Amino acid sequence: MVKSKILITGGLGFIGSNLAKKLVENGNEVKLVDSLIPEHGGNKRNINGIKNLVQVNLSDVRDPFSINELVKNKIFFSISQGRPATSTQWKILSSTWI
């Protein structure tokens, strides 16, 4: 039984991939979003061991078309790096800083 459906941005980076591993281990359905920009640290090898248990969407969170589709009609929580990109306006349904 799936506990929750979870979308992680930066899911192929160090923090996102380790979070994904724990969430999958706890029975959650996990979808990862990452742009794989080299300077940001995303790497497909970071999800070795769970790559068949997660969905990966290669998108840039600054692209409103792809992200709007991923979060359409969803409630989500946001965790952000210290200096997030500010180039896109977001319509946020629900946001909590952890």
How far is it, in rounded angstroms, from Cα 46 to Cα 42?
Answer: 8
- Looking at the DSSP bridge assignments, the partners of residue 14 are none
Greater confidence (1 vs 63) lies with 63
Q: What is the pLDDT of residue 63?
A: 87
| DSSP 3-state of 22 | helix
Q: What are the residue ranges spanned by the domains of the chain? A: 1-98
Q: In terms of Cα–Cα distance, which of 30, 25, 32 is closest to 10?
A: 32
SS (H, E, C) 43-70: CHHHHCCCCCCEEEEECCCCCHHHHHHH
CA geometry: angle 50, 26, 18, nearest 5 deg? 50
Average pLDDT, the chain: 80
Greater confidence (98 vs 26) lies with 26
Second CATH level (architecture) for the domain 1-98: 3-Layer(aba) Sandwich (3.40)
Q: Assign 84 a pLDDT band (cuts: 50, 70, 90).
A: low
